[in-house]
Amino acid sequence: MRSYLFSLRTLVCLTITLAMLGSGCERKASDKTDANKPEAGSPSVKTETDAGMAEQNDIAVTVNGKNITEAELEQAMKPQLDAVARQASSLPPEFMEQYKKQIKPRILNNLISEQLLREKVKEANIVISDEEVINQITELISKQQQPLTLDEFKKKLEERGLNFEDMKNDVRNRLAYEKLMTSLWEGKIFATEEDAKKYYDENPKRFEQPEQIAVSHILIKPEKPDPNSADPNEAMKQSKATALAKAQDLLKQINEGADFAELAKANSACPSAKDGGDLGFFPKGQTTPPFEEAAFALEMGELSDIVETSYGYHIIQKTGHKDASTIPFEEAKKNIIIQLVQKQQNEFIEDYMDKLKAEAEIVYPPGKEPPSEPNSP
């Protein structure tokens, strides 16, 4: 199933995440189109032949007389390209060029979708207030792993060279798209308890839960040795010996009555340290094999010996156990109904966008036509 940019919550969360990571996805205000403002007219066509050719080369596609430029397309691709470039810095330049060619048709298709939606938002006289925009942003940033106030969020955007007004325009447009779609599918999309029960009965494996355990642990990581040391291998060996000795001392303290959670908070190198080492419940297959083997072999409340993994040295204590089970229908019902409704919404959006595109005048400059999609088998 295709994914469209007007999936409000997904896109806004992604935008915020990219901003917090400093993805460099800033846009000039002039490059943005506000769903509540009139569309700018198409650029005037120059009479000179060379100027006309240059202008044609600057156009990626024309949608109902509105040009989407190559510059807008480049700007829309930039966040993904920047993210991949950071992760693939050691790969050859040809990789990035190939990746750019791969995502370009999809991003252009999204820009076409957004242009068609802006037209429909304008026709429907949908207006999103500043208050609605601010409330949406405030709600989202308050639910991040590290919640922020609006002022803190603005400051972080500024530190990364991003523009809060551009962020507001993004959110305003997505809220407008959501309001448009809601008005179109109102009364047409729903799921009943009977629908949920049918899905539950037809998909029993989806509601099976494997055996799970809960553990707390303390992780002691060896310090990275100085790369300029005379013998890096010997330095690493000494670092591991020091870490192991520390782990053994902590294990001795716990066996003598010291509080596990307090020692974890003070010594563990795992992010779970702030929770006293608590990792919560997890099934098999989600941790490294040495850790998993040791953890699942423990009895309730039992303490492990020192367990070595690629992360370092662990002390593990089993704190909970759940047998394999099946989620009861009453417990699963609410989420099933939500999923069924979301599936209908996605299908509605797909069909609606296909209809808009079929009715639209979409013109590509010569040589820029998208490749034909292969016929389905």
The tens digit of pLDDT for each residue in 18-49 reads: 344 333 333 333 344 444 443 433 333 344 44
Region(s) of the chain under CATH 3.10.50.40 = 211-323
**C-alpha distances in Å from residue 168, one per residue of 18, 116, 133, 165, 206:** 15, 20, 6, 5, 39
**pLDDT at residue number 86:** 76
**Element holding 246 (H helix, E strand):** helix 232-255
Model confidence at 142, pLDDT cuts 50, 70, 90, reads confident
Q: What is the residue-averaged pLDDT of the chain?
A: 84
Structure tokens that stand for 285 in this block: 């297959």
Region(s) of the chain under CATH 1.10.4030.10 = 8-191+334-363
SS3 for 111?
A: helix
Mean pLDDT of 133-152: 86
Domain 211-323 carries which CATH code?
3.10.50.40
Model confidence at 227, pLDDT cuts 50, 70, 90, reads confident
pLDDT digits (tens, 9 = 90+) for 157-210: 888 777 889 889 989 999 999 999 999 999 999 999 999 999 999 999 999 999
Which of 7, 9, 24, 37 lies closest to 114, judged by CA?
Answer: 7
Angstrom distance (rounded) from CA 220 to CA 199:
46
82: left (phi over 0), alpha (psi -120 to 50) or beta: alpha
The answer to whether 270 and 217 have CB atoms below 8 angstroms apart is yes
Taking the mean position of all CA atoms in its chain, how far away is CA 231? 43
Class of domain 8-191+334-363: mainly alpha
